[in-house]
Amino acid sequence: MTDKDGLPIRVSGANRRFAARVALDGVDLEVRPGEIAALIGPNGSGKTTLLKLVAGFLRPDSGEVRVFGLDPARERPAVMRRTRFAFAPPALFEALTAREHLVHLVGIGGGRAKASEIERALETVGLADRADERVRAFSFGMRQRLALAQALVPVPELIVLDEPTDGLDPLAVLELREVLRRLRDEHGTAVLLSSHLLVEVEELVDRLLVLHEGRELFGGSPAELLRETGAPTLERALLARLREVAGRSSS
């Protein structure tokens, strides 16, 4: 459930600069309960900056960012009770086992997790058989899985992921998609993730925000983008939009 008038995420007219560089220029975004939304665009398009605004790591120069109706920068503890963030590269405790890592993180947050919750999270991300191995021995892909597992204890109302498929093999990407679908369909969890490849999320997301140089190129459902561009795939639709922008810039 959301607050009485607060969506899981509402961004209105967000602007953010770093010195002379415009990172975001009047960006809007809504993520609804039980919805998977994706930020898509080339490297440097503003995806990670927008995620950091949602996480409260940055504040907008102007505009508004709300998570469940709350200011994530000023009301972070309240936001964190309902939201989990997994940013790349994941910061992990090398000397702990995967199981110990999850127990420790829950403790840092002032809570306690049932053993069954820990086991469920490890099973969900495919680490149940590696639960007692130390994190220092994990591959990058396994670290990505553990970062996702720590975002699932307990199951949140909202999960925000930065490039969650980075470093994962094709099978792990398929497994991640299934995990996110289950969170949405079985728990009503809202999901916001970033990616620079549409093919990774084509069959997964309900809503897209396509960014380029900090500006919105498209906001809506994947079906709407395909219809507008006439492209057979979302990847080709994105390329078509980027070519349109390049053509306007050169004219």
Question: What string of pLDDT tens digits covers the 251 residues of the chain?
Answer: 444 457 999 999 999 999 989 999 999 999 999 999 999 988 889 999 999 999 999 999 999 999 999 999 999 989 988 998 888 666 788 899 999 988 887 766 555 667 888 898 898 888 999 999 999 999 887 888 888 888 888 888 999 998 887 777 777 788 788 888 888 998 899 999 998 777 777 888 999 999 999 999 999 999 999 999 899 988 888 888 888 887 776 55
SS3 12: strand
Place of tokens 């995420």: 9
Is the Cβ–Cβ distance between 183 and 120 less than 8 Å? no
> What pLDDT is stored for residue 205 in this prediction?
92
What pLDDT score does 171 carry? 79
Separation CA 233–CA 237 (nearest Å) = 6
pLDDT at site 174: 82
CA distance 246 to 61: 27
3-state secondary structure of 54: helix
Q: pTM for this structure?
A: 0.86
Residue 192: the pLDDT is 96
**How far is it, in rounded angstroms, from Cα 31 to Cα 152?**
19
What domains lie within the chain, and their CATH numbers? 9-250 (3.40.50.300)
The predicted pLDDT at position 115 comes to 84
pLDDT value at residue 251: 56
Give the residues across from 53 on adjacent strands.
none
pLDDT at 23: 96
Q: How far is CA 233 from CA 57, 165, 224, 237, 238, in A?
A: 34, 19, 12, 6, 9
